[in-house]
């Protein structure tokens, strides 16, 4: 188990290095100038700035410096925000994104499992048809459209009720989380519903399902005690990449709902070519995802005894 | 037709009685009439073997008893099943079977033990499940009984084994586990659907001996479904031979094996390899009946070496061949010729 973890983390480190390198070179090949502001900069100031950020050195040298600092966990100062270290930006704003992401994921997974189970049990009957039509609609509409639509819907609701049922933007209380988490989780919820449905229907034809029926168990018990644990494995598998989808999808949702999460800074940093913030957040998210995927692998073993790692 | 005994129980004290059962399956291009009027009885404490080729309706009959027909996607269109004073009719749903019979008074084990158990639950949990669900036992009480049951089916280290998962067992061991699981609720009838087909020969014998022994000990009835006449000879008190979704012959096992009354059963017996003499194997000519049509005449007639006009006109009912041996063949009708015409090839 320990050896397996070590191996996975080592390969994860290589992945992160690859992400960092690719981002570094891609970023530097984008035309533009991080120091180019609206107002013209005096050549002498510019020279000093370039010196202090190391931008006057050749790219290979900059790359080396960056890798060295990264290994020490230091991503340097932001170009655009006065006196703010990239590490501070991540520490202040990642928890907001993470909270939003976790709640969205909870909504997506629990909803996906429940609706998937309903559609499987009522296969080819009304509840199945209704849910599947909604699912296909949801999968094909991008979440910024949903964001705007749900804001509009809730605004109308607030107006009709005469008081604020739910805030439609901002951050600070649990009510603020509801709408963005719902919008963020919706696409994944629909996707997981489909996955869960087909996965459960596959279990329907397995021998153990027939055995369970022959034991005189109720349909509900067969579903939750026997089929769910087997059917949920493919869902667990996609949760790693799903975390990626939800956290990156979060960038847009954070902007629409003006939530002070890391995503907003990321998008801003790319627009302004804030090299250090781009590199810092990219590497951070890369490492985060690698760890999530390893965690998912371990969880997998808890559910299916056949693939318990290191045994 | 004074010797016709259609739809009357063969023997008294029958605990399970199926009469004139029809089961249909809807498929892409029509309907399969899997059962076309099955009638049979199971006596308390006795072993009944159901024999027949693939697709003759053996398993469907068992599934019908257990109320599994809707689960496998079919429907009972006619007939009734009576067990323990209660009767399920064609148009009823299977709620009664599920509530009163399946997993309580009747248990069933399946052909492929590797897929018959849930890979994600421990053996102990699965064995004790009927007790926990139906009898309200606690988890620890259930585990205690699971250990006893594993001992009974002779799995060593039962205490350790109940905490293991199916993938840690061999095929023969899993069939023992299935048997232990079916015994948990102390059923009056155990249905074994080809319990040894997926196992290798030495293990087959062990499983059959175990089943016979348990059947004697618990004095329960055993219904064993097989296409192996060797299994019939070893296990059965009574036999029901099925062909084309009907029971074509039934009665005491040694009588039927010694001198089969139905030409199909005669063909099956001749197809058995003779270990003492070196001679080519004989096979029954022709192909199994097409169950997409509902037969109104003998479905074996196209393959039969005896041919009479009545065979292609009317379905033969069960005729008495001798005491406790009946056969659904016009040859046993009182008016049938003593020496019927023998045909060389099957005719269509």
- pLDDT per residue as tens digits for the range A246-280: 876 678 888 888 888 888 888 888 888 888 888 99
Does residue A296 fall inside a structural domain?
A: no
* pLDDT, tens only, A1-12: 778 888 888 999
Q: How far off is chain A from B16, nearest CA to CA, in Å? A: 17
The pLDDT score that the predictor gives to residue B10 is 45
Q: Judge whether A307 is closer than 8 Å to chain B, CB to CB.
A: no
Domain limits at A178?
Answer: 93-274
- State phi, psi for B221 to the nearest 5 degrees: -85, 150
Domain edges within chain B = 113-184
* pLDDT, tens only, B144-183: 999 999 998 999 999 999 999 999 999 889 999 999 999 9
Q: How far off is chain B from A133, nearest CA to CA, in Å? A: 25
Lowest-confidence range among A70-74, B29-33, B160-164?
A70-74
Tell me the β-bridge partners of B21: B38
Does residue A291 fall inside a structural domain?
A: no
Count of C-beta atoms within a 10 Å radius of residue A51: 11
Displacement of CA B286 from its chain's centroid (Å):
24
Does residue A142 fall inside a structural domain?
A: yes
Does residue A16 fall inside a structural domain?
A: no
Does residue A97 fall inside a structural domain?
A: yes
Q: What is the ipTM of this complex?
A: 0.87
For residue B304, give the 3-state DSSP assignment. Answer: coil
> Contact B120/A221, CB-based, under 8 Å?
no
Q: With beta carbons less than 8 A apart as the criterion, state whether B97 and B82 touch.
A: no
Tell me which chain B residues have a C-beta less than 8 angstroms from the C-beta of A212: 118
Domain holding A221: CATH number? 1.10.3720.10
Q: Judge whether B186 is closer than 8 Å to chain A, CB to CB.
A: no
Beta strands in B68-122 (DSSP E): 74-83, 86-89, 106-109
Which of B103, B165, B167 shows the shortest C-beta gap to A215? B103
Does residue A149 fall inside a structural domain?
A: yes
pLDDT bin (cut points 50, 70, 90) of residue B344 is: low
β-pair type (B86-89, B319-322): unpaired
> Contact A211/B107, CB-based, under 8 Å?
no
Percentage of chain B modeled with pLDDT above 90: 51
Does residue A112 fall inside a structural domain?
A: yes
Tell me which chain A residues have a C-beta less than 8 angstroms from the C-beta of B71: 209-210, 213
Does residue A28 fall inside a structural domain?
A: no
Which of A221, A226, A303 shows the shortest C-beta gap to B118? A226
Give the count of domains, chain A.
1
Tell me which chain B residues have a C-beta less than 8 angstroms from the C-beta of A304: 119-120
Q: With beta carbons less than 8 A apart as the criterion, state whether A55 and A44 touch.
A: no
For A222, name the nearest residue in chain B, comparing CA atoms only: B118
Q: Which helix (H) or strand (E) holds B40?
A: strand B30-43
Q: Is the pLDDT of residue A222 over 90?
A: yes
């Amino acid at each position: 188990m320990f050896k397996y973890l070590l191996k996975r983390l080592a390969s994860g480190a290589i992945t992160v290095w690859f992400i960092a390198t690719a981002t570094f070179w891609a970023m530097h090949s984008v035309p533009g100038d991080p120091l180019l502001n609206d107002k013209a900069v005096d050549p002498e100031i510019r020279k000093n700035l370039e010196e202090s950020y190391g931008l006057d050195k050749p790219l290979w040298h900059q790359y080396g410096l960056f890798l060295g600092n990264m290994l020490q966990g230091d991503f340097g100062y932001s170009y655009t925000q006065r006196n703010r270290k990239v590490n501070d930006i991540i520490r202040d704003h990642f928890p907001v994104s993470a909270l939003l992401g976790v709640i969205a994921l909870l909504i997506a997974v629990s909803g996906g499992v429940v609706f998937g189970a309903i559609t499987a049990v009522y296969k080819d009957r009304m509840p199945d048809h209704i849910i599947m039509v909604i699912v296909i609609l949801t999968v094909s509409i991008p979440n910024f459209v949903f964001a705007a639509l749900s804001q509009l819907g809730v605004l109308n609701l607030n107006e009709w009720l005469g008081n604020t049922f739910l805030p439609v933007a901002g951050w600070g209380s649990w009510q603020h989380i509801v709408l963005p988490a719902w919008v963020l989780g919706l696409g994944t919820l629909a996707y997981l519903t489909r996955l869960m449905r087909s996965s459960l229907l596959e279990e329907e034809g397995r021998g153990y399902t027939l055995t369970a029926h022959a034991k005189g168990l109720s349909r509900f018990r067969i579903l939750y005690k026997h089929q769910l644990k087997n059917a949920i494995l493919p869902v667990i598998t996609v949760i790693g990449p799903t975390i990626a989808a939800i956290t990156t999808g979060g960038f847009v949702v954070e902007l629409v709902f003006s939530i002070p999460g890391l995503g907003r800074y990321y998008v801003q940093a790319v627009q302004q070519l804030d090299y250090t913030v781009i590199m810092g957040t990219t590497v951070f998210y890369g490492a985060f995802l690698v760890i999530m995927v390893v965690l998912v692998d371990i969880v997998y073993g808890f559910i299916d005894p056949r693939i318990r790692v290191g045994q | 037709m004074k010797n016709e005994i259609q739809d009357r129980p063969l023997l008294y004290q029958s605990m399970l009685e199926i009469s004139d059962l029809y089961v249909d399956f809807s498929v892409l291009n029509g309907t399969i009439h899997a059962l076309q009027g099955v009638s049979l009885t199971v006596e308390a404490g006795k072993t009944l073997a159901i024999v027949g080729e693939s697709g003759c309706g053996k398993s469907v009959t068992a599934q019908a008893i257990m109320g599994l027909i809707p689960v496998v996607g079919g429907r009972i269109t006619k007939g009734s099943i009576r067990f323990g004073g209660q009767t399920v009719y064609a148009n009823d749903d299977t709620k009664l079977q599920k509530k009163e019979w399946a997993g309580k008074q009747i248990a069933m084990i399946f052909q492929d033990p590797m897929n018959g158990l849930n890979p994600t639950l421990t053996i102990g949990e699965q064995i004790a499940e009927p007790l926990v669900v139906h009898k309200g036992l606690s988890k620890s009480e259930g585990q205690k009984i699971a250990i006893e049951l594993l001992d009974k089916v002779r799995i060593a280290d039962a205490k350790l084994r109940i905490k293991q998962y199916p993938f840690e067992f061999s095929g023969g061991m899993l069939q023992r586990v299935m048997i232990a699981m079916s015994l948990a609720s102390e059923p009056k009838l155990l249905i074994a659907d080809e319990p040894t087909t997926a196992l290798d020969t030495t293990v087959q014998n062990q499983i059959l001996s175990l089943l016979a022994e348990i059947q004697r000990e618990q004095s329960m009835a055993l219904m064993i479904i097989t296409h192996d006449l060797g299994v019939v000879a070893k296990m059965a008190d009574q036999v029901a031979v099925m062909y084309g979704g009907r029971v074509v012959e039934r009665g005491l096992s040694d009588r039927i094996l010694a001198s089969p009354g139905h030409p199909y059963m005669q063909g099956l017996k001749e197809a058995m390899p003779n270990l003492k003499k070196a001679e080519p194997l004989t096979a029954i000519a022709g192909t199994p009946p097409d169950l997409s049509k509902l037969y109104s005449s003998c479905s074996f007639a196209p393959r039969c070496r005896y041919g009479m006009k009545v065979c292609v006109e009317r379905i033969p009912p069960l005729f008495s061949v001798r005491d406790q041996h009946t056969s659904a063949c016009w040859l046993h009708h009182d008016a049938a010729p003593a020496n019927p015409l023998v045909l060389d090839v099957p005719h269509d």
